[in-house]
Structures are given as structure tokens and as C-alpha cells.
């Protein structure tokens, strides 16, 4: 899901300034209403500050710790093998809509124990906010969220929705609005960002022979994943506010401050030759999962999905090349970095 950013009065750039700002929740608050054009509720725990943030995060963390995601690795592998076979059975096809998006949705179906919803999630396309028209609209997602909440409170589900609907925060069962905020993040946080990551992996290996170096162990899969995360920076920027919005009667228009994760990931004082996609990069303290209290809760999902996908590619006999591509790149100084894969089709060599 794309994120609508309010205009900002300033943007924090550079690796060290970003790490400092992302730790400083007093100065740069997450207490804001994002995507106000399509939703009127907070994404949780993303858009609240400590100490409330810690309560939500602590309640949700057990579902996303590494062992909880790792137990699904074999299912991820079966999904990867199946969808790669389908993708390359006929040519050419779109990597985003015919491989990356279905794979991410099938994997989320495994994690959340909602296989019955996978086809619906895929039907939303790359961005649920524009699932029904080119104009941003939250109706599709909200109908879905309301439907699964009703199932959960009637105890008709044995899945993550049923467990979330019965969570207690500060001694109180979560409300329908809180359910929307949590489940909205579960569907959004691991969607377009991981789709972009997997698409970028296919794009890079179509342009280089480095998959052969993965196969020969000259490049480790872990170092490659961290470099793909750094270089692609799936979420380039996120806003904070200098004035917490909850309960405020006077909200200055210039309260938003941008956190430029992409600038931190290409900081030349931290990364040698940052505009080179170096899969053997030894030190890689990228900021693609953020930093500080709001470090991405789903980081293990992204890393394990990508690892299993790359293991599957490495174990296969597949080699491919670009058939057609249409890529939007970031503006200067990041003009070599893909912002959006509008179209990418690859075919076997």
C-alpha cells in the first residue's frame, strides 16, 4: 500500500542524524494520523508513542519473532517453487503481479492462517488504496477489515484475527477501531515493501551473473539480502510530527518532519561506494527497517521470505534476462535507485 505523506517543513537526512531522531520520540513523535485521505484510524503500533506504543508492540511481538516466522520456511519454499514454475511456464509475464505479489500474499496466508483470503488479497493489486479505481479510496480494505472482525468476535476463526480481536491492552479488550489499526498494518507492512524487495532481486539477477556467485557460495545469501534491503530501501521516507496530535486543539501546519531512510542508506560516511549494489558488502547497518522504538515489527518476515526465495532461486537451474522494463527512479542524488517497478518482465536465457 502506498503511503500518503503530508508536506514537511524539513527532512532529517544522513545516517547518524536519522538514528538520533528516530530514538527521540519526544521531539519527533509518531502520534499522528497518516493516510488521512483514506482512513480515520491509527495504524498500530506504528502511529502512537511510548508508553502506549510499547503495550501494543509487546502484545504483537510474539507473532513476529524469528522462531515464529522460521517455522513457516518450508511452506514459503513450496510457495516459491510453485509460483516460479508457473511464472516461467509461459512468457513473458509481469514479475510484480504474476510472481512477487502472489508469493507475498501466499506467504502471508500461511503466517496468518488465512489461506482462504489469498486470492482476495491478490485481487487488490499492488496497492489496496487504488484497488477499485485510480483514485485513492479505503473502501475495499475497510469492508474486509469489518468482515473479518465480525468473524473473529463470533469466534468463527482460528487464526491471527481471532487472537488479535481478543487482545487486551492496559487491561481492556481492543476496540473495533484498534482491530482495524492493527490488522491494517499486518496487511500493509508486509505487502508492497516485500513485493518491491523480491522484484528488485529478480531485476538484479537478470542484469548480472551474480546468481552464479550465490550458487558457488562466493556471495552469502544473508549479505545479499541486507544489501538488497539497503539499496532498494523499500520505504524511502516516513513522517514524524513535532506536535503530538492526540488531544491537541491547535495543530501547526508545519508540524511534519520527514525521516529520509534512503539518505541514511546511501550515506558515504557509512557505506563505501553506496551507489554500487555490492552483494558482498561486509558491514551493512542499513535503516530499511527504521531504528529505535519503532523498528519494523515485521523485519523477520521480510528477511526470511527473501532468504527462502533466494535459496529457491539458487537451488534451481533457472537463469533469466530482462524482456521489458519500466522503472521509476528516485530523483537526484538517488537517480540510480529504483523507486517503483512499473513493469518488469523477464524470460529464461
Q: What is the pLDDT of residues 180-191, one digit of tens each?
A: 999 999 998 778
C-alpha cell at 168: 487486551
Tell me the residue range of the domain where 290 lies: 10-348
Q: Tell me: the pLDDT tens digits for 125-182?
A: 988 999 998 899 999 999 999 999 999 999 888 899 999 999 999 999 999 999 999 9
Core vs surface per residue 80-92: b (16+ CB within 10 A) or e: beebbeebbeeee
Round the average pLDDT of the chain to a whole number and report it: 95
| Residue 1 domain-assigned (yes or no) | no
Q: At what angle do helices 192-207 and 299-315 cross, to 10 degrees?
A: 30
| Residue 5 domain-assigned (yes or no) | no
CATH number at residue 29: 1.10.630.10
| Residue 217 domain-assigned (yes or no) | yes
Q: What is the mean pLDDT of residues 213-236?
A: 97
Q: Tell me: the pLDDT tens digits for 228-285?
A: 999 999 999 999 999 999 999 889 999 999 999 999 999 999 999 999 999 999 999 9
- Does 3 score more than 70 pLDDT? no
**pLDDT for residue 8:** 78
Predicted TM-score (pTM) of the model is 0.95
| Residue 4 domain-assigned (yes or no) | no
User: Among residues of the chain, what percentage have pLDDT more than 70?
Assistant: 98
| Number of domains composing the chain | 1
Residue 250 carries which DSSP code? -
* DSSP H stretches of helix in the chain: 15-23, 52-60, 66-70, 73-89, 95, 101-111, 118-123, 139-153, 160-165, 176-189, 192-207, 210-215, 221-232, 261-265, 299-315
Amino acid at each position: 500500500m502506498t503511503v500518503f505523506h503530508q508536506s514537511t517543513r524539513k527532512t532529517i537526512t544522513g545516517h547518524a542524524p536519522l538514528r538520533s531522531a528516530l530514538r527521540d520520540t519526544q521531539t519527533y513523535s509518531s502520534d499522528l494520523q497518516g493516510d488521512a485521505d483514506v482512513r480515520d484510524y491509527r495504524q498500530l503500533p506504528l502511529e502512537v508513542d511510548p508508553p502506549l506504543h510499547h503495550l501494543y508492540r509487546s502484545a504483537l511481538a510474539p507473532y513476529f519473532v524469528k522462531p515464529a516466522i522460521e517455522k513457516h520456511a518450508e511452506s514459503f519454499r513450496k510457495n516459491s517453487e510453485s509460483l516460479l514454475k508457473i511464472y516461467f511456464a509461459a512468457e513473458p509475464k509481469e514479475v510484480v503481479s504474476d510472481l512477487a505479489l502472489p508469493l507475498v500474499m501466499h506467504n502471508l496466508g500461511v503466517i496468518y492462517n488465512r489461506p482462504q483470503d489469498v486470492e482476495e488479497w491478490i485481487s487488490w493489486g499492488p496497492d489496496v488504496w487504488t484497488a477499485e479505481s485510480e483514485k485513492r479510496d479505503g473502501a475495499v480494505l475497510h469492508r474486509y477489515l469489518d468482515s473479518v472482525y465480525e468473524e473473529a468476535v463470533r469466534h468463527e476463526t482460528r487464526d491471527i484475527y481471532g487472537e488479535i480481536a481478543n487482545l487486551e491492552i492496559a487491561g481492556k479488550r481492543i476496540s473495533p477501531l484498534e482491530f482495524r489499526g492493527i490488522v491494517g498494518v499486518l496487511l500493509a507492512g508486509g505487502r508492497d515493501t516485500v513485493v518491491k524487495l523480491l522484484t528488485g532481486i529478480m531485476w538484479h539477477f537478470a542484469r548480472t551473473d551474480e546468481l552464479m556467485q550465490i550458487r558457488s557460495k562466493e556471495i552469502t545469501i544473508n549479505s545479499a539480502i541486507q544489501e538488497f534491503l539497503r539499496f532498494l530501501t523499500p520505504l524511502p521516507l516516513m513522517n514524524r510530527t513535532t506536535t503530538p496530535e492526540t488531544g491537541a486543539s491547535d495543530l501547526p501546519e508545519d508540524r511534519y518532519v520527514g525521516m529520509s531512510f534512503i539518505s541514511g542508506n546511501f550515506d558515504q560516511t557509512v557505506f563505501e561506494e553506496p551507489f554500487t549494489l555490492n552483494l558482498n558488502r561486509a558491514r551493512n547497518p542499513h535503516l530499511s527497517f527504521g531504528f529505535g522504538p519503532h523498528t519494523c515489527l515485521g523485519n523477520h518476515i521480510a528477511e526470511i521470505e527473501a532468504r527462502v526465495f533466494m535459496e529457491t532461486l539458487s537451488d534451481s537451474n533457472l537463469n533469466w534476462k530482462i524482456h521489458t522494463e519500466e522503472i521509476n527512479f528516485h530523483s537526484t542524488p538517488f537517480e540510480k535507485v529504483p523507486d517503483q517497478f512499473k513493469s518488469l518482465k523477464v524470460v529464461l536465457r
